Chains A and B, each alone.
Chain A
Amino acid sequence: MSVVDMRPACKPGDYKSDIKPIWCPGCGDYHVLMSFTRAFAELGLPPENIVVVSGIGCSSRIPAYTTCYGFHGVHGRSLAIAAGLKVTRPELTVVVASGDGDGYSIGGNHFLHACRRNIDMTYVVMDNHIYGMTKGQPSPTTEPEFDTALSPGGTGLRPFHPLVIALASGANFVARCFSGEPNETAAVLVEAIRHPGFSFVEVLSPCVTFRPDEKEWKNYVHPAPVAPTSDPAKAARRLMTDDGFNTGILYRGDRKPYQPSVGQPSIDVSELERDFEL
């Protein structure tokens, strides 16, 4: 006999914990948190069936602000933790939160291989083109002309293009959103979570403290003028002329997600613990 969940549908507020965010007022991450809770409510998922995994950085504080299960991991390793979780507990919805420093620099290699492995989870990177928590160092997506005491005359470095990398590495769903459009972002997250395989959603999320110029992003973003494609070659061609502010779903692939069969553990946890006994 199947068990029917008779609880009333969750509202976005049901996914918000009592912990008050400490992000700077004006930070885009507030909106991203809102998009998370709206998407979860739209999907009708009970909070205990969702796990939000993160690494380190302003954006990675997000698990604590939800009532879902959370794992605030080490720097750049959120995808590794999430991958292990998803293959062992495939019934859970796994959403990974990161930032451009955590996700593209420290965790850059995990990003490539998570795309390649195509495990069924959703990776949301809140990109503000800066390391905000550690006071304004250039990140992989910082513009080459970003001129600070740490990067005099600009970094001179070509910025990392997350969507190009995700597509080339095999992500099964690729999208870009703007934090200032929380309902549009929530709608994309709903699709990303529903889509089988590894879904990558880049969210442009301004850092108002160390990049006040990013307040202008709201004037730059624009919905992509074409519908999503399932043809990776077409998606790649679109990215060649991308101005970095196209929003919406770029690519929906049909690659089968990677899900190894997980049998019974060959060793009991207590046996492992024995080696660490004092």
Chain B
Amino acid sequence: MSAASEAPKVKNLADLLAVAYQIEADAVDRYNLLADQMETHNNPELVAVFRDLARAEGIHRDEIRRLAGEVDVVAHAQRMAKWKRGESPEEANLGDAHYLMTPWHALQLALKGEERALAFFKSIVETTKDPEIKRMADEFVEEEAEHVNLVHRLLRRHPKPAANWSSDPDPPIPQE
């Protein structure tokens, strides 16, 4: 999805904070959108999972805002934190959603997002020449690695469903 070459250019610390903020803000929006979809399609278990994920990403988003101090990351992100190709790393792929999906599927989406965010910040650490950006990006790498581990832990509680998880006793049937 979001290779570093497609991502906004990080030239200074304010850019990095804005991009980090936007990644979390996009994740909040995306999980809430998925929760709305599940609400509409009467999958209450997944509504709760996606709302929890949105809440968790919201906490990260607000932490970055606090971390930025006097830098207005919201306005700065609106100006520069745009992905020209692909989406921002933690935006779960809407194409993978299904009305009968299970918590395992939701966590798989979350895992992919966290792994993409981890790869994104790693690429900044590896390519930047600015020691300040490197130090901050390294902190984000540590955080994203924690999130990856957290999702793995959650996945142990929600094992992979049986192969017939999408069987619907009253499926949408094409007209005959």
Contact in complex: B176, A149 (CB < 8 Å): yes
CB distance from B81 to the nearest CB of A (A): 12
Chain B CB within 10 A, most for which of A26, A180, A215, A218: A26
Contact in complex: A137, B175 (CB < 8 Å): yes
Contact in complex: A150, B98 (CB < 8 Å): no
CB distance from B112 to the nearest CB of A (A): 14
State the CA gap A31–B82 with chains docked (Å). Answer: 16
27 contacts between A and B (CB under 8 A): A9-B78, A20-B36, A20-B39, A21-B36, A24-B41, A25-B34, A25-B37, A25-B38, A25-B41, A25-B101, A26-B97, A28-B95, A30-B33, A31-B94, A134-B175, A135-B174, A135-B175, A149-B174, A149-B176, A183-B82, A183-B83, A183-B87, A187-B84, A206-B95, A208-B98, A209-B172, A215-B95
Contact in complex: A25, B98 (CB < 8 Å): yes
In chain B, residues 76-94, which have Cβ atoms closer than 8 Å to a Cβ of chain A?
Answer: 78, 82-87, 93-94
Contact in complex: B174, A136 (CB < 8 Å): yes
Q: Is A158 an interface residue (CB 8 A)?
A: no
Q: Is A256 an interface residue (CB 8 A)?
A: no
Which DSSP category, helix, strand, loop or mixed, fits chain A's interface?
loop
Q: Is A22 an interface residue (CB 8 A)?
A: yes
Q: Is A109 an interface residue (CB 8 A)?
A: no
Which DSSP category, helix, strand, loop or mixed, fits chain B's interface?
loop
- Chain B contributes a number of interface residues (CB within 8 A of A) equal to 29
State the CA gap A181–B40 with chains docked (Å). Answer: 24
CB distance from B156 to the nearest CB of A (A): 25
A-B contact count (CB 8 A): 71
Q: Is B29 an interface residue (CB 8 A)?
A: yes
Q: Is B173 an interface residue (CB 8 A)?
A: yes
Proximity bits, A145-187, B CB within 8 Å = 1, else 0: 0001110000000000000000000000000000011111001
Q: Is A11 an interface residue (CB 8 A)?
A: yes
Which of the residues B40, B94, B99, B174 comes within 8 Å of A148, measured between beta carbons?
B174
Least CB separation from A179: chain B residue: B95
Residues of A within 8 A of B126 (CB): none
Q: Is B170 an interface residue (CB 8 A)?
A: no
Least CB separation from B79: chain A residue: A9
Least CB separation from A136: chain B residue: B174
Q: Is B96 an interface residue (CB 8 A)?
A: yes
Instruction: Knowing A20-B40, A182-B87, A183-B86 are in contact, say whether A26-B172 is a contact too (CB < 8 A).
Output: no
Least CB separation from A182: chain B residue: B87
Proximity bits, B161-176, A CB within 8 Å = 1, else 0: 0000000000011111
CB distance from B95 to the nearest CB of A (A): 5
Q: Is A84 an interface residue (CB 8 A)?
A: no
Q: Is A210 an interface residue (CB 8 A)?
A: yes
Contact in complex: B36, A24 (CB < 8 Å): no
6 smallest beta-carbon distances between A and B, as pairs: A136-B174, A25-B97, A149-B176, A135-B175, A25-B37, A26-B97
Least CB separation from A215: chain B residue: B95
Residues of B within 8 A of A134 (CB): 175
Q: Is A244 an interface residue (CB 8 A)?
A: no
Least CB separation from B34: chain A residue: A25
Instruction: Knowing A25-B38, A30-B33 are in contact, say whether A150-B99 is a contact too (CB < 8 A).
Output: no
Residues of A within 8 A of B86 (CB): 181, 183
State the CA gap A21–B33 with chains docked (Å). Answer: 10
CB distance from B171 to the nearest CB of A (A): 9
In chain B, residues 7-47, which have Cβ atoms closer than 8 Å to a Cβ of chain A?
Answer: 29, 33-34, 36-41
* 11 more A-B residue pairs beyond the given contacts A183-B87, A210-B172, with a C-beta to C-beta distance below 8 A: A20-B39, A20-B40, A21-B37, A24-B41, A25-B38, A25-B98, A26-B94, A26-B95, A137-B174, A180-B93, A182-B87
